Amino acid sequence: MSAVTTRAAVLSAMGAARPYGDSRPLSIETVTLDAPGPGEVRVAIKAAGLCHSDLSVINGDRPRPMPMALGHEAAGVVEALGEGVTDLNIGDHVVMVFMPSCGHCNPCAEGRPALCEPGAAANGKGELLGGGKRIHSHGHPLNHHLGCSAFAERAVVSRRSLVKIDPALSFREAALFGCAVLTGVGAVVNTAQIKAGQSAVVVGLGGVGLASVLGALASGASPVIAVDLSEDKLALARTLGPVQTVNAADADAADQVRALTSGGADFVFEMAGSVRALEAAWKMTRRGGTTITAGLPPPDAALPVNVVSLVGEERTLKGSYIGTCVPSRDIPRYVALYRQGRLPVDKLMSGTIPLDDINAGFDRLHAGEVVRLVVTF
């Protein structure tokens, strides 16, 4: 099997000036992909979502090794199989998962593949799970973004980064299940294990936050309250089901939530990736309640916590990474809920763009104008 070429969005340096449509931090380059090695797969990408996790690499909030071929939320078609891959076939439709799981480390053995130790180490080094880099530009290796590098026509990834899906599912919608849906719905279903009738508040209504709203509604939470600075996103949240909304800009936003939940919510989910939002979420949580954060602020961000409240009110503050997911189990479940009309993921779609417009697309994401833009190929 020989190497192939592909067009890909490459980030050479973080911290470019905005607007990105002018500074163009992502250059669209023709790069070389090695043939897939043992346990690896080449995928023809059909759709890839623009996520704040990508944006946080572009702006430098989440440092990664440079240069890097960006993108991590995607769906596509299996194009070539490396040695030892026997459970996928050429032509299969797949969703990418941005944390590959080895299946053997302690977290994987405990059923927590989202915390896979070799997977985290590989992602941190810009490598695939099996080691090494399969993308080259002018003879020099490029780093992989979270084992995916999906803003490209093709990508070579670990088999452990893929979940096979029903080919009837639209690629544009399928892509969202690999990050926004897996993270947002999973935080509600897996991390919180919320029960019908318990109250849920979601702070931050990007793709992940709105997916959390969908997960809370599907789980029978009541009331479900959405909190954001954007009136447009609050309006969108209200179209998803019986959702009450509070504008985070209101000085009494926390008081409004406590009034709507008789003293505070059972579960409050912070999905904005800011310490200020997490502090607000903490204030909205009831005595004995749980505050869950899946937001990823800059690495030096810290949260001051009143320890007396933590102890005397038996409060819980908990992190959720990729929705505490088991991807091979959860993605098919969430797709089934979507098909039943109980998880209308399609309502999170803001539109599609070509790869060449990706820099301007990230300007729109930064400005809060869109929930999920999807690059299509």
CB 116 within 8 A of CB 102: yes
Distance set, CA 225 to CA 193, 205, 254 (Å): 17, 11, 11
pLDDT digits 0-9 by tens, 107-138: 999 999 999 999 999 999 999 999 999 999 99
Q: Is the pLDDT of residue 300 over 90?
A: no
Q: Is 213 helix (H, G, I), strand (E, B) or coil?
A: helix
Unique residue bearing structure tokens 């490209």: 152
Q: Which amino acid is at 79?
A: E
pLDDT digits 0-9 by tens, 316-361: 999 999 999 999 999 999 999 999 999 999 999 999 999 999 999 9
Q: Where are the domains of the chain?
A: 4-164+344-376, 184-322
CB 41 within 8 A of CB 97: no
Q: Which amino acid is at 142?
A: L
| Predicted pLDDT of residue 298 | 84
pTM for the predicted model, two decimal places: 0.96
Unique residue bearing structure tokens 């026509």: 153
Using pLDDT thresholds of 50, 70 and 90, give the confidence band for residue 377: very high
Q: Is the pLDDT of residue 297 over 90?
A: no
Domains 4-164+344-376 and 184-322 share a fold: no
Name the DSSP letter for residue 314: T
In terms of Cα–Cα distance, which of 277, 284, 98 is closest to 205? 277
- The structural architecture, per CATH, of the domain 4-164+344-376 is Alpha-Beta Complex (3.90)
| 184-322: CATH, from 3.20.20.150, 3.40.50.720, 3.30.1490.20, 3.30.160.100 | 3.40.50.720
pLDDT digits 0-9 by tens, 75-108: 999 999 999 999 999 999 999 999 999 999 999 9
Name the DSSP letter for residue 222: S
